[in-house]
Amino acid sequence: MDSCAIEEIRKGFVDALLWAHDWEDYPLSQEASQRIDKLIGKFAKDFPGLCDRPEDFWTTSHNSAEGTLREYLGHDLALSLLGTGAGFLDGRYGSLDKFLAAWCDCRPQIEPYLGDDGKVYF
């Protein structure tokens, strides 16, 4: 997976993480940023061809004004790891839904919190 794809996944992940807690105006701490990078790197390593799939692979009606398909992937990764009950089980990934959700189930849920310094940690 190229660095552009990883950056798009990261953007979707961070947007969803902050949105889910109504923290869009707060920056990530360096610790949280590093943990996200490590997590997305592991995801990219475990699913190297996922982002290279053709547009018709994705079973969603994609609106490009809402972000790229890779950003959707990062969004669903964050929601799955937050334990929201949403994310990879929404039918967007066809036969991979349960496989992607199981990957997340093998990792600890992320539990973000807002530090006294106004930065997001987990």
User: How many CB atoms are located within 10 Å of the residue 85 CB?
Assistant: 9
Predicted confidence band of residue 52 (pLDDT cuts 50, 70, 90):
low
User: How many angstroms separate the first and last alpha carbons of the chain?
Assistant: 26
- Helix (H) / strand (E) containing 98: helix 97-105
Whole-number average pLDDT of the chain: 85
CA–centroid distance for 38 within its chain = 12
Predicted confidence band of residue 35 (pLDDT cuts 50, 70, 90):
very high
Mean pLDDT value of segment 17-37: 96
pLDDT 10s digits, 75-101? 999 999 998 878 888 777 777 888 899
User: Rounded to an integer, what distance in angstroms lies between the CA atom of residue 12 and that of residue 110?
Assistant: 16
Tokens of 108: 């600890």
- The model carries a pTM of 0.87
Count up the domains in the chain and report the number: 1
Which domain range does residue 96 map to? 3-121
